[in-house]
């Protein structure tokens, strides 16, 4: 349904805003990465920065007008696209005294955008709900109230396809459903919602993969093991401001993984069961899961490599069992619990 032009615009927008070495992105656009710093989306896609949309009421916009609008906003913001889209649309609506988005033409546009975004594999843009921009108001609406509540993490932001819009009536998710802002402010830490922002953790998928290279110098040989923490004014050598706290008891990695698996509606294609009864599961988006784990632990530098090390420690404790020869595949062991269908009352 989405037009190639729209795909182009949004794809470029995503790449422009969130240049990252994230594997998913690389996979999608291997040739686009490092050189698009100053990408002018509209120019690339359309050759000129047409702004005809400004002269037209939104309910009369054609797809081209929508594209112009998006391009214009991308050019202007280069970052917090969501709030700008929302605001711009609101302004346009106000200008033409549109009272709602109920016009069929605009609804179709919203659906078009939604469909496109939902089919994107880009983990960040895929969370955007154009049609739901109303009401979200660009606010940070993530609920981290419960350390054990997986829904409080931004699975939406890290997954790639499905929406949670149908879950709005589900009390477990209701407070976290407004992740429609393109600025992705919701990726902040839970506490940040009350004003304690975590600037280093605004865009975990972006920051993480740059961690090793953004030091800007070749890695030096260092002794084995974790280096001693260097106390500075701001923190340690690795992170000037981050304060890693341990999760409260009961929030262990394997439980976190389990909770992703037993809530497929929140899973967003991050993980899947290979054999539900045997407890065999597979990471589909390993880095995204690692990011979520890092988000939960307020550690923006978490990677799948580190997460998997922690997972391997579970072998000894028989919380996990090895699954030989299969990448990204693990199996719950006898010392794990809470994942069996009998335990959680799922009849499969």
Binding positions for DNA, rule: CB under 7 A: 23, 26, 219, 221-230, 236, 238, 243-249, 252-254, 283, 286-287, 293-294, 297, 299, 301-302, 304-310, 312-313, 315, 317, 322, 324-325, 327-329
What is 172-193 written as a DSSP string?
Answer: TTGGG-----TT-GGGS-GGGG
* Rg value, the chain, Cα: 22
Query: Closest separation between CB of residue 195 and DNA, Å?
Result: 20
Closest C-alpha among 12, 60, 9 to residue 32: 12
Query: Closest separation between CB of residue 198 and DNA, Å?
Result: 14
Query: Closest separation between CB of residue 25 and DNA, Å?
Result: 11
Measured from the CB atom, the residue of 4 and 30 that comes closer to DNA is 30
Query: Closest separation between CB of residue 59 and DNA, Å?
Result: 45
Measured from the CB atom, the residue of 91 and 318 that comes closer to DNA is 318
Where do the H-state alpha helices sit in the chain? 4-17, 23-28, 41-46, 63-77, 81-95, 104-119, 133-136, 155-158, 204-210, 253-262, 264-267, 286-296, 304-317, 341-344
Look-up of token digits 């005809």: 52
Closest C-alpha among 310, 275, 273, 272 to residue 290: 310
Measured from the CB atom, the residue of 101 and 206 that comes closer to DNA is 206
Measured from the CB atom, the residue of 2 and 336 that comes closer to DNA is 336
Query: Closest separation between CB of residue 76 and DNA, Å?
Result: 33
Measured from the CB atom, the residue of 63 and 284 that comes closer to DNA is 284
């Amino acid at each position: 349904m989405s037009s190639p032009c729209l795909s182009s615009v949004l794809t470029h927008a995503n790449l422009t805003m969130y240049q990252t070495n994230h594997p998913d992105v690389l996979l999608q656009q291997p040739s686009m990465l490092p050189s698009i710093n100053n990408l002018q989306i509209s120019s690339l896609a359309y050759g000129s920065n047409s702004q005809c949309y400004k002269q037209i009421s939104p309910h009369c916009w054609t797809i081209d007008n929508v594209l112009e609008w998006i391009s214009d906003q991308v050019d202007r913001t280069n970052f917090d696209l969501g709030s700008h889209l929302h605001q711009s649309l609101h302004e346009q609506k106000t200008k033409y005294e549109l009272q709602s988005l109920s016009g069929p033409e605009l609804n179709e546009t919203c659906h078009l955008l939604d469909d496109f975004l939902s089919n994107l594999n880009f983990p960040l843009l895929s969370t955007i709900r154009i049609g739901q921009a109303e009401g979200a108001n660009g606010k940070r609406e993530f609920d981290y109230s419960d350390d054990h509540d997986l829904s409080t993490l931004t699975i939406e932001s890290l997954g790639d396809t499905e929406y949670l819009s149908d879950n709005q009536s589900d009390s477990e998710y209701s407070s976290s459903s407004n992740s429609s802002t393109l600025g992705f402010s919701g990726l902040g830490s839970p506490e940040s919602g009350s004003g304690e922002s975590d600037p280093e953790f605004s865009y975990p998928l972006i920051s993480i993969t740059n961690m090793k290279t953004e030091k800007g110098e070749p890695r030096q040989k260092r002794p084995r093991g974790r280096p001693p923490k260097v106390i500075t004014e701001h923190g340690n050598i690795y992170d000037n401001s981050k304060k890693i706290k341990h999760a409260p008891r009961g929030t262990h990695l394997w439980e976190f993984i389990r909770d992703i698996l037993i809530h497929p509606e929140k899973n967003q294609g991050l993980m899947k069961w290979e054999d539900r009864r045997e407890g065999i599961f597979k990471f589909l988006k390993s880095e995204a899961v690692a990011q979520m784990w890092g988000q939960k632990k307020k550690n923006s530098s978490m990677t799948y490599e580190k997460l998997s090390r922690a997972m391997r420690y579970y072998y000894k404790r028989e919380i996990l069992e090895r699954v030989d020869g299969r990448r990204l595949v693990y199996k719950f062991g006898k010392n794990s619990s809470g994942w069996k269908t009998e335990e959680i009352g799922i009849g499969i």
